[in-house]
A and B are shown apart, each in its own frame.
Chain A
Amino acid sequence: MDLSEKDEFSAEKRNPDNYDSVNNPSGDWRVSGSNPIDSYPSENLISAGPASCSPSQMMDSFGQTLWYDPTSVQAMGYGGFSVQNNGGNASSSSFRGNIDRSLEMGWNLPNLLPPKGNGLFLPNASSFLPPSMAQFPADSGFIERAARFSLFSGGNFSDMVNQPLGNPESIGLFLQRGGTMQGQCQSNELNVCEPHNDVSTVVKDPTVRSSEQAKPNVPGSGNVSEDTQSSGGNGRKGRETSSNTKKRKRNGQNSEAAQSHRSQQSEEEPDNNGDKKLNSEQSPNSPGNKTNSGKQQGKQSSDPPKDGYIHVRARRGQATNSHSLAERVRREKISERMKFLQDLVPGCNKVTGKAVMLDEIINYVQSLQRQVEFLSMKLATVNPQMDFNLEGLLAKDALQLRAGSSSTTTPFPPNMAMAYPPLPHGFMQQTLSSIGRTISSPFSSMNGGFKRQVCISDLAVCKVNNPRLTL
């Protein structure tokens, strides 16, 4: 998995010429991905990688919360790479924009391109990757440094870039952390950048704000780039450290680490407003689940919800009261479910507005219940003796059900075999036996009786054989 990740990013780095602008559609990324093959024929790793690797693969490998917008990440990568080629300073401004994007994503990889050019990096990384992955435990200071590092603007990056290459172990650490850091000079870069904290964060803030505004508003309860509500730059660091250490007591899985990494980045002002997070007081020590539930459509499946709480961040320009946060989460849940209901209820697509739609839903439920009542009345009148002959009914019903489900290709018995919940033993046994008896008796009265016989017998047989069908 990490190899594939590396492939993708190496492919990114190999296309400096194609991407000067920051904004790249994802299609271009894929198209240009085939270019590296020509330039680096020796590199087998990305032979089919870029073309085949979709952003979704990247997403899966790194944990979904990291991937807010794959296109911008790719853009970032290319932009960062162009910075590299220009010596860093010339296009540091564009790089800063890229960095800010990366901040939102929590994605550091494109920023940490090695200064020595394309070719050197990949073979080293490929050799480093496999051994280094397993070796390095979670470095407690690492995430913190990596978090700080990701915040830094391009001005610092030039310093980082020029640092001599660090030990290859840093690669392994990075890889384990975010799975992406392939630059070799990262530890040095981080160390260099730590004294630059104050400067860089101050510089970062306005750009982060602007980039936040550019970002589309996620209809979710959490947003990574909620950092703009920071009051002070320096005070954060101490708190960030403490919060980082707390968060890192979790397992050091990649996804977890990446997630915590990103959440640490986002928490530049983590505990300034103490009640900004839901249940923050309940999980100071427990590694809370850092999924921002509204971040994408689905929750992270890889994260075990240890305490079941969902941590939310206040969005930009909204109240950070814990009550209002909870309220917002709840409202979003409700609206999500209303959308789901809208698909269910026929004729609700044109309706807009919660009130009208809810009325529609209520009317629909009422009408369904009335229909049930009406049909039961009809049944009572049709069959006044109430002698519901199960075998006969089943046979007839089988006819209708088969006609009804003829559009579907699934045969009759497997449907029933699959979907049966366990039932009390009692009467179905007698029903089965009665069905068995009727099977033996000829269904001569029915038209096309053989087919129906078969299906009913199959039904009975499958029920008898299937131990779960304790009907």
Chain B
Amino acid sequence: MASADKLINTDVPEKDVFALHFLQSLSNLRTQSPLNSPNKSIDRVRKIKKAAYVSMARAAGGTSRLWSRALLRRAAKDDNKSVRFSRRKRKVTWKISSKRKRSNQRAPVVEEAAERLRNLVPGGGGMETSKLMEETAHYIKCLSMQVKVMQCLVDGLSQK
């Protein structure tokens, strides 16, 4: 599912990558919590969900994408772990959305939608609108891939 767009690179790895990452994280779950033995289903669900997101972020690009980075950081913060980010030469652009005071000049329709998107997409708070939309595109691709993987897994497990 690779995009052929020259300007915006939204290449996403194949389904197998996602599958493997997800299974890894799931097996990790098992090794993680034999002590606590959480019987509450909510905890399990939450754990699985988190494992799903983390594995998706890892599979999709590790730390090369803004949203995946934010996701991993958020997950690591919950676990009180620290995430290692590779140093990359990035041009610092002073285009943080919070600093924009001249909101009247931006298209208000777009901006309010962008606000909602920022709440949805991880790491969206610090992005400019155009960058946000790039990240959204990649995020959508990865999400759909992850959904497919999970669907396969559920089907496989339920068939047994």
User: CB-CB contacts of A263-302 with B at 8 A, as 1s and 0s?
Assistant: 0000000000000000000000000000000000111000
Interchain CB contact under 8 A, B140 and A368? yes
Interchain CB contact under 8 A, A471 and B24? yes
A443 contacts chain B at the CB level, 8 A cutoff = no
Interchain CB contact under 8 A, B15 and A388? no
**A226 nearest CB across to chain B (Å):** 22
Interchain CB contact under 8 A, B15 and A404? yes
Interchain CB contact under 8 A, B107 and A388? no
| A103 CA / B120 CA spacing, docked (Å) | 48
| A431 CA / B21 CA spacing, docked (Å) | 11
User: CB-CB contacts of B139-160 with A at 8 A, as 1s and 0s?
Assistant: 1110110111011111111101
Contacts of A355 in B (CB 8 A): 109, 113
B29 contacts chain A at the CB level, 8 A cutoff = yes
B103 contacts chain A at the CB level, 8 A cutoff = no
CB within 8 A of A364: which of B5, B107, B140?
A: B140
| A327 CA / B121 CA spacing, docked (Å) | 24
B28 contacts chain A at the CB level, 8 A cutoff = yes
CB within 8 A of B116: which of A338, A341, A362?
A: A362
Q: From DSSP, what is the main secondary structure of chain B's interface residues?
A: helix
Given contacts A368-B143, A421-B61, A428-B24, contact A340 B137 (CB under 8 A): yes
Interchain CB contact under 8 A, A372 and B150? yes
Contacts of B96 in A (CB 8 A): none
Interchain CB contact under 8 A, B105 and A323? yes
Q: Report how many residues on chain A are interfacial, defined by Cβ distance under 8 Å.
A: 67
Interchain CB contact under 8 A, A340 and B5? yes
A213 contacts chain B at the CB level, 8 A cutoff = no
Given contacts A354-B109, A390-B27, contact A383 B150 (CB under 8 A): no
Interchain CB contact under 8 A, A401 and B15? yes
CB within 8 A of B144: which of A331, A337, A368, A378?
A: A368
Interchain CB contact under 8 A, A400 and B27? no
**B79 nearest CB across to chain A (Å):** 14
B52 contacts chain A at the CB level, 8 A cutoff = yes
Contacts of A380 in B (CB 8 A): 41, 44-45, 48
**A residues with CB within 8 A of B:** 297-299, 308, 323, 327, 330-331, 333-334, 336-338, 340-341, 344-345, 354-355, 358-359, 361-362, 364-366, 368-369, 371-373, 375-384, 386-390, 393-394, 396-397, 399-401, 404-405, 412, 415-416, 419-423, 427-428, 431, 471
28 contacts between A and B (CB under 8 A): A297-B6, A330-B129, A336-B7, A341-B136, A354-B109, A355-B113, A361-B136, A362-B117, A365-B140, A368-B144, A375-B52, A376-B49, A376-B150, A379-B150, A382-B158, A384-B44, A386-B29, A388-B23, A388-B26, A388-B27, A393-B23, A396-B160, A399-B156, A412-B16, A419-B14, A419-B16, A421-B13, A421-B59
Nearest 10 pairs of A and B residues by beta carbon = A358-B113, A419-B13, A337-B133, A375-B150, A388-B26, A368-B143, A376-B48, A396-B156, A376-B49, A390-B27
